[in-house]
Amino acid sequence: MSDAVPTHLAVSIIMPVMDETVSLRDTVEIVMNECAPDIHEIICVVSKFSAKESIAVCEELAARWPRVVWMRQQTKPYLGGALQDAFSWATGSHILLMASDLETPPHDAQSIIAKAKESWDIVATTRWSQGGSFEGYNPVKFVANWLFQKGIGLLYRTKLTDLTYGYRIWKTEFLRGHKWEELRHPFLLECLLRPLRMGATSTEIPVHWKPRIEGESHNPFWRNFLYFRIAFRLRFSPSPDPTQPKIPEVIG
């Protein structure tokens, strides 16, 4: 770790948007109020299926912060496709991924960025340890999620405890040069596992998860089983770079 803590980062915040309005506006207002000096840009990624009310809010926010907030339509399909596109558009030194449905509590962005200044390659968040928690989470999903985190965490020998939660920051270089495979929600796992396989250092901070207050999830429960596919495929495929350890010796 480097000793010198930088005063400011240049963070590209990526927010995928489908049917959020109030939640999207709250999210952007909170991060602009609390993290503005570290924000290089906020990219609102919309799809051709995004609600016109949501697109109107993106336009309103872009007009309010013209050199910071911008909106662009994804070219690849689904959530994973939107994120693959946005990762390639981002020009900041760091990429912070968060949702626009308030399920990634925006007041925590400040602590995530502060932690990233300590020079970690990845700062993830966790609902599962150190005081992280859930409120109103489906009980079946809760148990399934716990089992998945424990199992896949062991398989990858990582100390990170919430591998599927899409609220984290990376040094941008760790999201470059990958041949991404997942187009749907399992991309949230793939974009963590591939950098870890490159040897990225990582840590996590606890957050409290609350369900969205508007719009709906775009991930039906049965599709969560698809997370296993990328987890196993990556674990047992050859390391991308033979000079890098397949599984980092020490993580976090």
Ligand X SMILES: Nc1nc2c(ncn2[C@@H]2O[C@H](COP(=O)(O)OP(=O)(O)OP(=O)(O)O)[C@@H](O)[C@H]2O)c(=O)[nH]1
The binding site for ligand X (CB under 6 A) comprises: 16-18, 20, 45-47, 74, 78-79, 82, 99-101, 103, 166, 185, 217-219
Provide the sign of the torsion angle of the four alpha carbons 229, 235, 238, 239, taken in this order: positive
Rule CB under 5 A: choose which of 19, 41, 103, 108 binds Mg ion: 103
Closer residue to ligand X (CB): 178 or 218: 218
Secondary element (H or E) of residue 95: strand 94-97
Question: Least Å distance between CB 44 and ligand X?
Answer: 8
Tokens of 96: 């912070």
Give the DSSP per-residue string, 184-224: STTHHHHHHHHHHHTT--EEEEE-EE---SSS--S--GGGG
Q: Is position 162 an interface residue for Mg ion (rule: CB under 5 A)?
A: no
Specify the stretch interacting with Mg ion by CB under 5 A; choose among 36-44, 86-94, 102-110, 188-196.
102-110
Q: Which residue has the tokens 């399992």?
A: 186
Contacting residue, 41, 101, 121, 204, with Mg ion by CB under 5 A: 101
Which residue, 82 or 196, is less far from ligand X as judged by CB?
82
Helix, strand or coil, per DSSP, at residue 13: strand
Nearer to ligand X, 217 or 237 (CB): 217
The residue number with the shortest CB distance to Mg ion is 103
Task: Quote the CA–CA distance of 104 and 109 in Å, as a whole number.
Answer: 9
Minimum gap (Å) between residue 127 Cβ and ligand X: 11
What letter does residue 243 receive in the DSSP assignment? T
The yes or no reply on residue 20 touching Mg ion (CB under 5 A) is no
